[in-house]
Structure 1
Amino acid sequence: MNSFRVLLKKEARENSRNYKMLWIPLVFIIFGILEPITNHFLPEIMKSVGNMPEGTEFLWPEFQGEDIFTSLLGQYQSIGVLVIILAFMGSISGERKSGTATLLYVRPISFRNYFLSKWIIVNAIVLGSVWLGFMASWYYIELLFNSVDVGHVLLFITTYSLSIIFVVTIVLTLSASLPTGGTAGVAIVITLVFQIIDSLLGQHWKISPWKLPLYATQWFQGDLNMQDFWSSIAATIILIIGLILIGITMSKRNAANTTI
Structure 2
Amino acid sequence: MNSFFILFRKEWRENVRNFKILWIPLVFILFGISEPLTYYYLPQILNAVGNMPSDMAFQLPEYKPEQIIMSTIGQYQLIGLLIVAFGFAGIIARERKNGTAIMLYVRPISYFGYVFSKAAIMSILIIGSACIGLLVNVYYTYILYGAVDGVAFIGFLGTYSIWLLFAISVVICASAAFSTGVASVISLIVLIVVQLVDSLLGTYWTISPWKLPMYAGQILSGNLDKTPFFWSLSVTLVLVVLLLMGAVYLAKRNVAKAKI
Common topology (TM > 0.5): yes
Superposed CA deviations along residues 23-47 of structure 1, whole A, max 9, x for unmatched, are 1001100110111111110010000
Aligned residue in 2 for 1:149: 149
The one-letter amino acid paired with 1:87 is G
Aligned residue in 1 for 2:83: 83
Superposed CA deviations along residues 94-134 of structure 1, whole A, max 9, x for unmatched, are 11111111111111221111101111111111111011000
The one-letter amino acid paired with 2:117 is S
Residue 170 (1) aligns with residue 163 (2): no
| Contact kept in structure 1, 2:111 and 2:252, CA below 8 Å | yes
Q: Separation in 2 of the partners of 1:26 and 1:58?
A: 32
1:1-260 map, 5 Å: 1-260=1-260
User: Which region of structure 1 is more displaced relative to structure 2, 100-109 or 211-220?
Assistant: 100-109
The one-letter amino acid paired with 1:248 is V
Identity of aligned residues (%): 45
TM-score for both structures, normalised by structure 2: 0.97
Offset, 1:56: 4.0
The one-letter amino acid paired with 2:49 is V
Superposed CA deviations along residues 228-259 of structure 1, whole A, max 9, x for unmatched, are 11000000001111101110011011111111
Pairwise CA RMSD:
1.1
Identify unmatched segments of 5+ residues in structure 2. none
User: Which region of structure 1 is more displaced relative to structure 2, 164-173 or 10-19?
Assistant: 10-19
Q: Separation in 1 of the partners of 2:85 and 2:135?
A: 23
Secondary structure of the residue aligned to 1:109 is: coil
Secondary structure of the residue aligned to 2:58 is: coil
Offset, 1:226: 0.7
Identify unmatched segments of 5+ residues in structure 1. none
Secondary structure of the residue aligned to 1:185 is: helix
The one-letter amino acid paired with 2:134 is F
Q: Separation in 1 of the partners of 2:142 and 2:235?
A: 35
Q: Separation in 1 of the partners of 2:178 and 2:61?
A: 46
The one-letter amino acid paired with 1:12 is W
Offset, 1:83: 1.0
| Contact kept in structure 1, 2:155 and 2:220, CA below 8 Å | no
Q: Separation in 2 of the partners of 1:140 and 1:223?
A: 24
Offset, 1:58: 3.0
Offset, 1:5: 1.4
Q: Separation in 2 of the partners of 1:47 and 1:63?
A: 19
Secondary structure of the residue aligned to 2:100 is: coil
